Structures are given as C-alpha cells and as structure tokens.
Amino acid sequence: NAGVTQTPKFRVLKTGQSMTLLCAQDMNHEYMYWYRQDPGMGLRLIHYSVGEGTTAKGEVPDGYNVSRLKKQNFLLGLESAAPSQTSVYFCASTSGDFGFEAFFGQGTRLTVV
C-alpha cells in the first residue's frame, strides 16, 4: 500500500518555466490537498479538492492551478514559475470523515532560479 505518492521529488526551474506536480493516492480518499512549507510559515494550503472534478482555493492560491480529473490523482501546475515559489510542496489526502487523519506524501522540493 503506497499511500500518497508525489512526483517528482526534486526539481529546479528557471523563472518563467512551467511544470506540473503529480499526486497519486491509493486509499480511495475523497479529499486531496496541496500545501507549501516554508521556514517559519508552517503548512499553507494552496488548493484542495473534495471530490473528482472539484477544486477550491486555499490560503495561497495565486500562481498555481490544479485539476482533479481522476479521484486518485491531484495535479498542481505552475504556469510561469517565480523565485517566490521556491518551497517544499506536500500533497495530502483524507477520507473526509469528521476527525479525519490526513496522509501526506514525501514532498517535492522545488527551486526556482
């Protein structure tokens, strides 16, 4: 049981380039999330989805887009990367039941130069 898998684990982008981060979960969870983690800032929610075909904005959505075409996958896109998007990105999923446990992926370390 793999849980939550993020691809890639590391990436270096030049300013203005685009990329897509992939998150896959095999727990049949309804809810999926993308967070970014920066020193002293904790985990900030970028976008989330409460089911296949749905997406919603989180706390820091600007500069990012997401899609949830399949229940098990949640994609995070950066259309024109900026140095301010240098961060560690985490995907998480939950069943959505109250008092839910969130399961996190291993993270993607993105550097924009």
Partner 1 sequence: QQQVKQSPQSLIVQKGGISIINCAYENTAFDYFPWYQQFPGKGPALLIAIRPDVSEKKEGRFTISFNKSAKQFSLHIMDSQPGDSATYFCAASWKGAQKLVFGQGTRLTINP
Residues lying near partner 1 in the complex (CB under 8 A) are found at 4, 31, 33, 35, 40-45, 48, 50, 56, 58, 90, 92, 96, 98-107
Q: How far is the CB of 58 from partner 1 (least distance, A)?
A: 7
Helix, strand, or coil here: 83? helix
Min dist. Cβ of residue 39 to partner 1 (A): 9
CA dist list (Å): 42 to 24, 38, 45, 89, 98: 23, 6, 10, 12, 23
- CB-CB neighbours of 98 under 10 Å: 5
In the complex with partner 1, the residue whose CB is nearer, 80 or 106, is: 106
Our CA angle for 113, 67, 69, nearest 5°, is 140
Q: Indicate the SS3 state at residue 88.
A: strand
**How many other CB atoms are there within 10 angstroms of residue 54's CB atom?**
12
Residue closer to partner 1 by CB (options 35, 64) is 35
5 vs 20 by CB, closer to partner 1? 5
CB 101 to partner 1: min, Å? 5
Give whichever of 48 and 75 is closer to partner 1, judged by the CB atom: 48
